[in-house]
Amino acid sequence: MINRSWKRRDLLNAAIALGLAPNLSFAEPERMLTRTIPGTDESIPVVGLGTWDVFDVAGSREEIEARKEIIGMLLDRGGSVIDSSPMYNRSEKIVGDIINETGGRSNLFLATKVWIDGRSAGESQMRRSRDLMYAGVIDLMQVHNLRDVDVHMATIREWQEKGCIRYNGITHYTASAHRSMEKAMQDHKPQFIQINYSLGERHAEQHVLPLAQDLGIAVLINRPFMAGRLFHAVRNQELPAWIAEFADSWGRFFLKFILGHPAVTCVIPATSKPHHMVDNLGAGFGAMPDAATRKKMAALWESL
C-alpha cells in the first residue's frame, strides 16, 4: 500500500531529522500552492515529481517501498504532477505499478513523452506509455527533446480530439536547444513546454520564459537542481538569515528561486529518497520570492 499515513506529524519528524523543522511550522497552509494552466480554469500544484533515473530501478522491495512513499507524500501534500518518459527505461512501469496497486490515479496529473521517429512508432509508444502508467487518459503528452515534433504534435492533437490525451507539450533540457524550442513554440503553440531552468542554468530567462508568457503556455521546469549538481556547490555553506522567510534548506532555496519566476507553472524535481521529497514539497508552501529577492538569491549564488 502507498504510505498515505505521512501526515503532518510524520513530515515534521522527518523534517526534524533533516534539521528543517522551523519552516514546517503549524502556520503552514495544508494544501500546496497551485497555478492556472493558461487559457483554462484548471490549476496544478507547483511542485511535482520527476522520474528520470530515480524511478528506473529493478524493483526490489526496498526500492518500491521508497517510491511508494514518495508518491504517497506527493499526494498527501496536495501535489499531483508526475513526469516520465519511455526514455527513462523502467520508470513509467514503476510509476504505473504503484498507481495500479494503490489507486491514486484520480488525484494525479500524469505527464509523459513520445521519443521516437515516425507517426506509427509514436502512436505505439504512446499506447505503451498509457498502459504502463495505467493512465487511462494521459493528462499531458509531450514531444521529448523536440524529436520529430511536427509529426507527433499532429498525432497528439488527434488523440486530444478523441479524448485520449488532455494536454500537449514539447520539452528540451539544454540551452543550446532553446532557439529550436522558441521556433517550435511559435509554430505549434503547445499548451505546455518543459524546459531546463535553475540558478545554475538561467538561459531560459532570456527568451523562452518571456515567450511562454506572451503565448499563454504553461511551463514545467526540469533539472531544477541540475541533476543534483547545485547541492555540491553549497555543501557546508550556511543559508543566509534573510532567506528564512522563504526557505530553510538549500533545496527549497533552489526551488523557490524557480517558482518566483512569473512564467513558471510547476517544477518537477526528481528524487529517490522520501526525506528529500519532504524537503522538495516544502517549496510549494508559503511566500514566494519577488523579483528583488530573486535578484538577491542570484547574487548570492554567483558569489559562492
Ligand X SMILES: NC(=O)c1ccc[n+]([C@@H]2O[C@H](COP(=O)([O-])OP(=O)(O)OC[C@H]3O[C@@H](n4cnc5c(N)ncnc54)[C@H](OP(=O)(O)O)[C@@H]3O)[C@@H](O)[C@H]2O)c1
Least distance CB 18 / ligand X (angstroms): 9
Spell out the residues 6+ positions from residue 20 whose beta carbon is closer than 8 angstroms to its own.
Answer: 248, 249, 278, 279, 282
- Asked if residue 80 binds ligand X (CB under 6 A), the reply is no
- Asked if residue 280 binds ligand X (CB under 6 A), the reply is yes
Place of cell 531552468: 197
- Asked if residue 194 binds ligand X (CB under 6 A), the reply is yes
Cβ pair 137, 165 in contact under 8 A: yes
Alpha-helical runs (H) found in 24-118:
61-76, 91-102
Spell out the residues 6+ positions from residue 178 whose beta carbon is closer than 8 angstroms to its own.
Answer: 172, 195, 203, 204, 206, 207, 208
- Asked if residue 282 binds ligand X (CB under 6 A), the reply is no
Residue number with CB closer to ligand X (145 or 155): 145
Of 160-168, 181-189, 220-228, 283-291, which part binds ligand X (CB under 6 A)? 220-228
Single out the residue of 69, 76, 83, 139 in contact with ligand X (rule: CB under 6 A): 83
Single out the residue of 224, 274, 282, 284 in contact with ligand X (rule: CB under 6 A): 224
- Asked if residue 284 binds ligand X (CB under 6 A), the reply is no
- Asked if residue 256 binds ligand X (CB under 6 A), the reply is no
- Asked if residue 173 binds ligand X (CB under 6 A), the reply is yes
- Of 249, 266, 265, 253, give the one whose Cα is nearest residue 300: 253
- Asked if residue 79 binds ligand X (CB under 6 A), the reply is no
Residue number with CB closer to ligand X (41 or 176): 176
Among positions 102-161, residues that touch ligand X (CB under 6 A) are 144-145
Three-point CA angle 45, 47, 53, nearest 5°: 135
- Of 102, 164, 173, give the one whose Cα is nearest residue 144: 173
Among positions 48-77, residues that touch ligand X (CB under 6 A) are 50-52, 54
- Asked if residue 273 binds ligand X (CB under 6 A), the reply is yes
Place of cell 535553475: 198
Single out the residue of 112, 125, 168, 271 in contact with ligand X (rule: CB under 6 A): 271
Of 27-35, 92-100, 206-214, 266-274, which part binds ligand X (CB under 6 A)? 266-274
- Asked if residue 257 binds ligand X (CB under 6 A), the reply is no
Single out the residue of 261, 279, 289, 297 in contact with ligand X (rule: CB under 6 A): 279
Tell me the residue type at 3: N
- Cell for 193? 513546454
Q: 3-state secondary structure string, 189-232?
A: CCCEEEEECECCECHHHCCHHHHHHHHCCEEEEECCCCCCHHHH
- Of 219, 242, 251, 234, give the one whose Cα is nearest residue 294: 242
Single out the residue of 225, 257, 285, 301 in contact with ligand X (rule: CB under 6 A): 225
- Asked if residue 233 binds ligand X (CB under 6 A), the reply is no
Sheet holding 165-171, edge to edge: 49-50, 81-83, 109-114, 138-143, 165-171, 192-196, 218-222, 266-267
Residue number with CB closer to ligand X (129 or 271): 271
Which position's Cβ is nearest ligand X? 50
- Asked if residue 268 binds ligand X (CB under 6 A), the reply is yes
Q: Which residues bind ligand X (CB under 6 A)?
A: 50-52, 54, 83, 144-145, 171-173, 194, 222-228, 231, 251, 268-273, 276, 279-280
